[in-house]
Amino acid sequence: MQTVSGRRGTLPASPAKPKPKRKGPGRPEGASGVRETILDAAECLFANLGYAGTTLREVSDQARVTQALINYYFGSKYGLFEEVFLRRGVAVSEERLRNLEAVRQAGTASVGDIVRAFLLPTAALRTSEQGRHFLRLQARLHTEPPHISYALRDKAYGVSTERYVEALQEAMPHLSALQAHWRITLMVGTYLYAFSDSHRMEERVPEGQYQADDCQSLIEQVTGFVVGGISAAPQNLA
């Protein structure tokens, strides 16, 4: 589709623009990329303002397109939201499954192996601005009303999370099914919060000790906590 033939010589009344970014209506040459631009803008805004708090006009402004174009591409506001979330959500889920498969084939998986296999795909997202937007969006999705969140969460993460419960039961055979579910659930709650920047440690920790962009330290803190929590003795209530 990338016919890179030169522009047509006859330019009606517009001045000669060497700029490849043509503005205005009309079918663009090749892929315009505007679709991804809209998704990026929406990802940022949905993450910061929530589903109801985001307006399509804000999205269109930030993406520098007209608002009608969003409905043209995604049909509706919810259609946009769906695609924003699933575009990264399914990728994360698939990577988790691949990671789990890898540690399983390498022998008996320890709790640490399982936790790292689960956390690494999302931890990697923290290295980019857009990735952090998605992580905030994801944390937010879990608090959105069911009719907005349930179907999406299930579609993206339903299967892979179930596999991790099974793997944990193999690693800790003395855990009941209910306990295994609980610990995976608590892991999810912990990392959602820790990776979403919705906490405010920056303001509470003595000067300069906390580096918000210290990704390595973040992963270690969270992994240590989660492994400790999952590995705790089942009736550890001293």
Partner DNA sequence: CCATTAATTAATCAACTCGTTAATTTATCG
Partner DNA sequence: CGATAAATTAACGAGTTGATTAATTAATGG
* Residues at the site binding its own copies, with contacts judged by CB under 8 A: 48-53, 110, 112, 136, 139-140, 142-145, 150, 153-154, 161-162, 165, 177-179, 181-183, 185-186, 188-190, 192-194, 196, 198-201, 204-206, 209-210, 217, 220-238
Stretch that binds DNA, among 8-16, 110-118, 138-146, 230-238 (CB under 7 A): 8-16
Nearer to its own copies, 65 or 175 (CB): 175
**Contact present, 121 and 88 (Cβ < 8 Å):** no
- CB of 1: closest distance to DNA in angstroms? 5
How far is the C-alpha of 153 from the C-alpha of 158, rounded, in Å?
7
- CB of 34: closest distance to its own copies in angstroms? 26
How far is the C-alpha of 135 from the C-alpha of 194, rounded, in Å?
10
How far is the C-alpha of 52 from the C-alpha of 43, rounded, in Å?
13
For residue 166, count other CB atoms closer than 10 A to its CB.
Answer: 13
Tokens standing for 35? 């679709």
Tokens standing for 16? 């000669």
Residue 74 DSSP symbol: H
Q: How many residues bind DNA (CB under 7 A)?
A: 34
Distance of CA 34 to the CA centre of its chain: 20
- CB of 164: closest distance to DNA in angstroms? 35
Nearer to DNA, 55 or 185 (CB): 55
- CB of 84: closest distance to DNA in angstroms? 13
Residue 66 interacts with DNA (CB under 7 A): yes or no: yes
